[in-house]
Amino acid sequence: MSSTDSLDRLAAVIESRKPAHGGDPDKSYVARLLHKGPDAFLKKIGEEATETVMAAKDCDHGGDKTKLVGEVADLWFHSMIALAHYGLSPADVVAELVRREGLSGLEEKALRKAQARESEG
């Protein structure tokens, strides 16, 4: 079973929780967040990102690495709710990472700066 299969399965569950598909905010955490709207799940993404940073810093000081895994899972999960809301899927993110494959971040940044200089004239 690949990691992307798991993400696809979770994405399908999230999709099924949309109000248009009968998601019930009283019975489902995902449906509740989608029902509340973007401010609710975007706030959760901000919180989970901060908790991820704190868990990573703890690892620097001998902290529990499973805590970091848990926080990243929370971050991915809430990000997937945002993707679903905006009509996107994990496959879109994977496709973007594949598109970037083999292109060094340093090269990409240099290209971007050169293009910006060109467009400035």
Could you say whether residue 16 binds ligand PRT (CB under 6 A)? no
Q: Counting contacts by CB under 6 A, is residue 74 touching ligand PRT?
A: yes
The two structure tokens encoding residue 19: 């109000």
The rounded distance, in Å, linking the Cα atoms of 8 and 92 is 11
Options 7, 11, 17, 75; binder of ligand PRT; rule CB under 6 A: 17
Least gap, CB of 107 to ligand PRT (angstroms) = 36
Cβ at position 8, least distance to ligand PRT in Å = 12
In the list 13, 53, 69, 88, the residue contacting ligand PRT (rule: CB under 6 A) is 13
The two three-digit tokens of residue 37, written as one number: 């709207």
Contacts of 83 (CB under 8 A, 6+ apart): 11, 89, 90, 92, 93
Q: Which lies closer to ligand PRT via its Cβ, residue 31 or residue 55?
A: 31
For ligand PRT, the binding residue among 7, 11, 30, 84 (CB under 6 A) is 30
DSSP string for residues in 25-72: TTT-HHHHHHHH-HHHHHHHHHHHHHHHHHHHHHHHTT--HHHHHHHH
Residues found near ligand PRT in the complex (CB under 6 A): 10, 13, 17, 28-31, 74, 77
